[in-house]
Amino acid sequence: MASDKEGCGAAAGHAVVSLVGDKGEYPELPGPKTDATGNARSKGYHSVLDKTQLKMVAQQDAGFDQTKGFNVAGTVLQAHPNIVGFITLNDPMGLGAAAAIKAQGSKAISVGIDGGSDAVDAIKSGSSSFKASAAQPLTQQVHTPAVLVDQIVL
């Protein structure tokens, strides 16, 4: 069963709106433009955010890497100090953005995708600017093929 990459992006987009409201500026930290997963996740984010008054002010590749996420986010924050939140297409970039937010004393938030343990720990800490991570529900992924197999066998 394929992962619903666009659905994860949409879920993350809903988290952004829930956290910052429907107005303000945000940047997107994607990976390479040739990455199909990143493109699907971005499409999901935009399916939600483009229906709000949130305005994308920057879109810069951070290579799906935490250090690059930190560096890119720092540069973007300097150019756009009124950012309310970063949307990132994976957790490492989001965690890098959160570190840049902290380093620059910004009140922005960061949201990612994957639900990795480092991301969950950052969210649970309550002190990180990394506030949400969308992840494919594993139980649903396991259950659906099991149901389909059950239907074929019967």
Instruction: Classify 83 as helix, strand or coil.
Output: strand
pLDDT of 97 above 90: yes
Residue 40: both structure tokens together: 């699907």
Percent above pLDDT 70 for the chain:
86
Q: What average pLDDT does this structure show over 1-20?
A: 88
Mean pLDDT of 89-93: 96
**Single-letter amino acid, residue 55:** K
**pLDDT score of 136:** 73
Tell me, what's the pLDDT at 7?
92
Residue with structure tokens 């239907």? 151
Percent of the chain with pLDDT over 90: 84
Using an 8 Å Cβ cutoff, are 46 and 11 in contact?
Answer: no
Q: Order across the sheet with 109-113: list the strands.
A: 53-59, 23-29, 85-88, 109-113, 130-134
Confidence check: pLDDT of 146 > 80: no
Whether pTM exceeds 0.85: yes
Is it the case that residue 144 has pLDDT exceeding 90? no
Q: What are the tens digits of pLDDT across the range 31-81?
A: 899 999 999 999 999 999 999 999 999 999 999 999 999 999 999 999 999
